[in-house]
Amino acid sequence: MSAPVVEVRGDGIAAYCCTHLLRKAGIPVRLVRPERPRVPAILISEAALHLLRDIFDSPSLLANSFLIRQRIVAWAAGQGVSRMDHRGYVTSEQELLASLLPDGETCSAKPDFLIYSSNPLPAGVNQQHLGSRAAIAWRAALRHGCPPAACMTESLPAGWLFLLPDGAHSAWLLAVGDAAGRPLGTSELIAPYIETLSEASSPFPSHPRIATQLAGPGWLACGSAAMSFDPICGDGTALAVRTAILAAAVIRAHLDGHDPASLRQHYESRVRAGFQRHVDLCRQFYRHGFGGPWWEDELAALDAFTPGTPEPFRYRLRDLTLEAVSD
């Protein structure tokens, strides 16, 4: 009898992690990579980078990327500016994915299991949107005197800005909400450091989203197909890696003979718990932001989220393998 085949549909960190982990476990994988636009710049936390290096056995991954050493924040109106140590690595999504693209032949056999890490999801599965805020990214040239190796976050009356340097005099500016239409109009922290803006992206959603169903017979959703985070928290890369690890472990446990329904319930519970933590964190940011109608509307959208009654976790993850939890 031939080994079960898994098809991974996606072209991002979650898809590549799933493919790598399953192939490493000896499971045949077909990777289907739909075309999609790349994110121009990503800030990867030190913890997320260590996790990627461990999974892909690549200790020098992003070793030459631009290092952020400080975060400067002007968030609550009238509360001044705070500075804090921060360690993160700046890269383009294109560069990161080129480093992670799994080796090996793509299996051509008919799949027995599907992993969705990009849309479209299975018929009847939609996404729940918590808000409606969009974002635009610009290429920015920085003035002389800009703090070196420092990213900046600033709240405005109808949105917020994030400045992410990727060199001594260059950066990406992310504008969220109504601020995307006039990003530097009311900025006091970030605007003085920008010489010019160019290469604006198309608008893209920046509010949290989660699939109405995360698993079903023969399939799982992971990565951005399962849920997407607000960039205010900077958890996108770690989210993609964690859900990929869990998805790969669930499939391995399924093939090892564990009850499929119990595994799907555990997967749903774990992913939804992670999304709930993200929503709770977003509430804190939006409750203490600049203030005013825009912030109140976006906070109301977060407050409207009802996760439902959580199911107990039936497994624990140990060394990338799921173990059943005793009652």
Same domain membership, residue 215 and residue 200: no
Question: How many domains does the chain divide into?
Answer: 2
Q: Could you tell me if residue 326 is inside a domain?
A: no
In one-letter notation, the amino acid at residue 114 is: L
User: Percentages helix, strand, coil for the chain, rounded to the nearest 5?
Assistant: 30, 30, 40
Within the chain, which residues score under 70 in pLDDT? 1-2, 104-108, 326-327
User: Do residues 223 and 214 lie in contact, with contact meaning Cβ atoms separated by under 8 Å?
Assistant: no
- Residue at which a domain ends, from 156, 184, 204: 204
3-state secondary structure of 292: coil
Q: Which of 204, 226, 244 is the last residue of a domain?
A: 204
Residue 56 lies in a domain: no
223 and 244 Cβ atoms separated by less than 8 Å: yes
Could you please report the per-residue DSSP string of 190-208?
A: SGGGEEEEE-PPPPEE-S-
Domain boundaries, position 117: 1-40+92-132+207-319
323 touches 314 (CB < 8 A)? no
Pick the closest to residue 187 from 213, 148, 137, 152 (CA basis): 152
Looking at the fold, whether 120 and 219 belong to one and the same domain comes out as yes
Whether 269 is in a domain gets the answer yes
128 and 265 fall within a common domain: yes
* Whether residue 125 is found in the same domain as residue 170: no
Q: Are residues 176 and 104 in the same domain?
A: no
Through-space distance between the first and last CA atoms of the chain, rounded to whole angstroms: 35
144: CATH: 3.30.9.10
pLDDT at 16: 96
The whole-number pLDDT of residue 1 equals: 46
CATH number at residue 249: 3.50.50.60
Helix 46-55 with 236-255: angle, nearest 10 deg: 30
Query: Which residue, 144, 202, 140, 137, is CA-closest to 165?
Result: 140
Task: Answer yes or no: is 63 within a domain.
Answer: no
Query: In this structure, how many other beta carbons lie within 10 angstroms of the beta carbon of residue 269?
Result: 17
Please write the tens of the pLDDT for every residue from 285-297: 999 999 999 999 9
Residues 192 and 299 in one domain: no
Task: Answer whether residue 324 is part of any domain.
Answer: no
150 with 246, same domain: the answer is: no
The sheet with strand 209-211 has its strands ordered as: 127-129, 209-211, 227-228
Predicted TM-score (pTM) of this structure = 0.92
Say if residue 22 is in the same domain as residue 9: yes
Domain boundary (204, 234, 258) is at 204
For residue 26, tell me if it sits in a domain: yes
Residue with tokens 């959603």: 205
Q: Are residues 280 and 315 in the same domain?
A: yes
| pLDDT, averaged across the chain | 91
Amino acid at 280: D
In a domain, 243, yes or no: yes
Q: What is the pLDDT of residues 202-242, one digit of tens each?
A: 899 999 999 999 999 999 999 999 999 999 888 788 888 99
Separation between Cα atoms, residue 100 and residue 20, nearest integer Å:
9
Give the pLDDT score at 38: 86
Query: Which pLDDT score is estimated for 37?
Result: 84
> Do 177 and 215 fall into the same domain?
no
Q: Residues 195, 114: one domain?
A: no
Based on the fold, state whether residues 117 and 166 are members of the same structural domain. Answer: no
* 182: in domain: yes
